[in-house]
Amino acid sequence: MRHAVLVRLVAFGIPIGIGFVAIGLGLAYYQIWILQRVNQLLRVDLLERLQSLSLRFHAESRVGDAIYRLYQDSAMVTQLIDVLFLQPLQAGGRFLSGLVVVGFFQPLFALLLLLLWPPALLLGFHFSRRLRIGFRAAREAASALTSRIQETLSGVKVIKAYGAEGYEQARFERDSRAAFAAAFAVRTRFAVFKVLVFWTVGVALMVASLALYGRLVLIASARSRRQFAPRSSLRLWGWPFDRRKR
């Protein structure tokens, strides 16, 4: 039985492994190329867009916010491409390969892994709105901090001339603590989401493993009782079942 499983694993695993390796290398190359290309084009387009805006807009907006958007928004778009398209393809490939390997040894575990998708999706749906709000607040706080840095550095001569270093330092520390608190809060919520998904999958696999092990033990004990029951009954009637010939 083990030899047959090994032969099937080798026969199907090698072509599947070669295919997944080729797909993974292609996705890695495409990821590097497309993300860098999109990032560069977005930076150029954003700068052109900022220059085409009216003087009223520039008078009412902060320069630091424009700087933050220029380099951060382009990176955020590339992260969205990575998260929405490339990472799901890579994760789906790894998941399918894992299902194939697990299915060779225990099809019930492969079925269990498939059934664990709905709970994970429900957790993601529950946390998605809170994570979006939290990441948006973190980006706004980081933008305010960038604006504070730009304003402080651009007016450092005036600040030193009037001796307002302490006041500006206090404002910078306040914005820095606000940005850190916002980022820490949303990252903590994201970590809690990952931990819940991990424990959901882990507990389900542990319960299934214990149930399967108990079932195998019951089957083995039942077979052993059926196998040794005749010998036990013969011994009870005094028959020397395992008597050797002299």
- Based on the domain organization, do 153 and 232 belong to the same domain? yes
Q: In the chain, how many domains are there?
A: 2
At 70, list the tokens.
């220029």
- Based on the domain organization, do 139 and 232 belong to the same domain? yes
Residue predicted with more confidence, 153 or 104: 153
At 77, list the tokens.
């778009």
Tell me: the pLDDT tens digits for 138-151?
888 988 888 888 88
Yes or no: say if 49 and 69 are a contact pair by the CB < 8 Å rule.
no
Residue 143 CA to residue 64 CA, distance in Å, equals 7
- Based on the domain organization, do 138 and 99 belong to the same domain? no
Q: Is residue 115 part of a domain?
A: no
Which alpha helices (H) appear in the chain, and where do they start and end?
2-52, 55-60, 63-81, 87-105, 107-115, 117-154, 156-162, 165-236
Residues 6+ apart with CB under 8 A from 205: 109, 112
Residue 151 CA to residue 158 CA, distance in Å, equals 11
- Based on the domain organization, do 4 and 100 belong to the same domain? yes
Q: pLDDT confidence of 234, banded at 50, 70, 90?
A: very low
Tell me: the pLDDT tens digits for 27-86?
778 778 878 888 888 888 888 888 888 888 777 778 777 877 777 777 777 777 777 777
- Based on the domain organization, do 100 and 163 belong to the same domain? no
In whole angstroms, what separates CA 178 from the centre of its chain?
27
Q: What pLDDT is stored for residue 180 in this prediction? A: 93
Q: Is residue 121 part of a domain?
A: no
- Based on the domain organization, do 73 and 133 belong to the same domain? no
Tell me: the pLDDT tens digits for 44-60?
888 888 888 888 877 77
Residue predicted with more confidence, 230 or 5: 5
Plot region of 236 (φ>0 → left; ψ -120 to 50 → alpha; else → beta): alpha
Residues 6+ apart with CB under 8 A from 217: none
- Based on the domain organization, do 84 and 137 belong to the same domain? no
Residue 57 CA to residue 60 CA, distance in Å, equals 5
- Based on the domain organization, do 131 and 95 belong to the same domain? no
Residue 186 CA to residue 109 CA, distance in Å, equals 34
Q: Is residue 21 part of a domain?
A: yes
Yes or no: say if 183 and 138 are a contact pair by the CB < 8 Å rule.
yes
Q: What pLDDT is stored for residue 165 in this prediction? A: 87
What percentage of the chain has pLDDT greater than the value 90?
9
At 151, list the tokens.
């304003």
How far from 20 is each of 26, 41, 77, 95, 137, CA to CA, in Å?
10, 31, 27, 11, 39
Among the candidates 36, 71, 105, a domain finishes at 105
Residue predicted with more confidence, 34 or 7: 34
Q: What pLDDT is stored for residue 226 in this prediction? A: 65
Residue 163 CA to residue 65 CA, distance in Å, equals 26
Q: What's the pTM? A: 0.64
- What one-character DSSP code corresponds to residue 206? H
Residue 74 CA to residue 68 CA, distance in Å, equals 10
At 154, list the tokens.
């651009």
Q: Is residue 110 part of a domain?
A: no
Q: What pLDDT is stored for residue 228 in this prediction? A: 53
Q: Is residue 79 part of a domain?
A: yes
Residue 60 CA to residue 98 CA, distance in Å, equals 55
Residue 124 CA to residue 83 CA, distance in Å, equals 14
Q: Is residue 246 part of a domain?
A: no
Q: Is residue 111 part of a domain?
A: no
- Based on the domain organization, do 162 and 237 belong to the same domain? yes
Domain around 88: 1-105
